[in-house]
Homo-oligomer: A and B are copies of this chain.
């Protein structure tokens, strides 16, 4: 017995494949963010990853699968990151500040996926959409739990709305036309978003 089917041999080819797949997802993030899922052709997508057209089908079952992989990935990253951040915090208010910092960092450095997520989620097939929405819900819940601990005796549905609104604030980044240029500018911008988010959240 050499290797179980799940155990993959690491060969030059498998590396190349993984690399190509990653390049495709990267290209998808950029292109979908720019023109929207329906505005990008498989041909465009392949081309942006240095491969042409139908080669994409060697990595994904179809165009919807690309979107699905992209959005599922980002939702998982957010949920995992959020749980780690919240778990490491010493108090609810530290947790909330950490979550804000984490979300701001994510939104600023992954503006494209954020944009795709709230623009093209509806283009997903019902099943995948359910999956992504479930991950999103869990992530929101991480916030709501901390907020509930920080602000007891508040209607949970109100808390959920607060969290959504704060996401709107933080995720407004991708819509911003004038992106900060220097690193200094960017740091100030992140601080601003964090302060505003905190103020809004603790109203």
Contact = CB atoms under 8 A, between A and B. Distances in A.
Contacts of A167: 172, 175
A6 to B, nearest CB: 36
A69 interface: no
Contact of A164 (B36, B37, B160, B172): B172
A120 to B, nearest CB: 7
A38 B40 CA distance: 10
A196 interface: yes
A149 interface: no
A199 interface: yes
Interface stretch (A8-16, A72-80, A187-195): A187-195
Contact of A176 (B35, B161, B200, B202): B161
A119 interface: yes
A203 B169 CA distance: 13
18 contacts: A35-B122, A36-B36, A36-B37, A36-B122, A118-B175, A158-B188, A161-B192, A162-B192, A162-B196, A165-B193, A166-B169, A169-B169, A169-B172, A169-B200, A192-B203, A196-B200, A199-B200, A199-B203
Interface of A: 34-39, 118-120, 122-123, 133, 157-158, 160-162, 164-172, 175-178, 188-189, 192-193, 195-197, 199-203
User: Which 9 residue pairs of A and B lie closest in terms of their CB atoms, listed nearest first?
Assistant: A168-B172, A38-B38, A169-B169, A196-B200, A200-B200, A199-B199, A168-B168, A199-B203, A195-B203
